[in-house]
Amino acid sequence: MEGSEGEAVFDSLNLKPQLFVNETLNTVDDLVDDAFNFYHQEASALLKIEGTDRSQDLTEGVTYIRNMIQSVLDKRLGMWEQYCLRHCFAVPEGFSLLKSNELPDDGSTCQDAICDPDLDAQLALLREKLTLAGKKSAELNSELQELERQSVVSNLSTGLVNKALQFYEQNSVNDMFQEMTQTASELREKMEKLKSRRWNDIERARMERIYNADRDTFLKHHDKGLSNLKLEDLQKFLVELKKV
């Protein structure tokens, strides 16, 4: 680029492409230095080898890694530098700067460009569309806020209904439990009464059976008198009387 027409153009504008590239490369070198210095300090602190024989080994290892990375980085940055100088800062062929005495005095060209009727009509149409879009956006935002408000009210109503249903279900379960408890108590009372009645019936039947048996024995030997009863019959009769 040196000695070329492009360099003269950049010089006339007080621009230095090579200076920009050099400053960028220097900035990258500074960042690499800071990064590997920090890496070396952290590694030394974690390994706790500061002031030992292994400190030199760590320094050599970090230097070796940096040289590997720096070699690849230098190649990439060299390609980037050539690309910038050949393409980014290349001046098109035939490009030339207007001299001060070649500029129009009345500025009619600029006025014609600014006062183009077609351009004004397009700008007016765009402003109208932008205004309509703004109104439509405001309406949509209003509708969205209304929907959000309705959604909040709906969610609140749904929550109240769910709580009411839950309360109703809990009360219904409590009522059913109380009813079941009352029914069980009544059934237990009836079973006790039935059991007592059956026990009384059994006792009554046993007493009647004993009474009838004793009466039959007494009537059987009444004509002959108690003296005619056998000893076994008398003992049996006494036992039954004790049970009564």
Above pLDDT 70, what percent of the chain? 69
Q: What is the DSSP letter of 82?
A: H
Query: Under 8 Å CB-to-CB from 89, ≥6 apart: which residues?
Result: 1, 6, 10, 17
Tens digits of residue pLDDT in 172-229: 666 767 787 888 888 888 888 888 888 888 877 777 776 665 555 555 554 444 555 5
Question: Is-contact 58 40, C-beta < 8 A?
Answer: yes
Token readout for 148 is: 């959000």
Element (H, E) at 25: helix 17-47
Question: Is-contact 91 9, C-beta < 8 A?
Answer: yes
Residue 159 has what pLDDT?
A: 75
Sign of CA dihedral 96, 97, 101, 103: positive
Q: What's the whole-number average pLDDT of the chain?
A: 76
| Range scoring the smallest mean pLDDT among 6-15, 29-38, 51-60, 61-70 | 6-15
Cβ burial, residue 121 (10 Å; 0-12/13-18/19+) = exposed
Residue 100 has what pLDDT?
A: 52
Question: Is-contact 54 47, C-beta < 8 A?
Answer: yes
CA nearest neighbour of 60 among 40, 84, 86, 87: 40
Segment of 3-12, 165-174, 195-204 carrying the highest mean pLDDT: 195-204
String of b and e for 182-212 (b: at least 16 CB within 10 Å)? Answer: eeeeeeeeeeeeeeeeeeeeeeeeeeeeeee
Question: Is-contact 240 213, C-beta < 8 A?
Answer: yes
Residue 131 has what pLDDT?
A: 86
Tens digits of residue pLDDT in 15-25: 888 888 999 99
Residue 57 has what pLDDT?
A: 87
* Greater model confidence, 236 or 181: 181
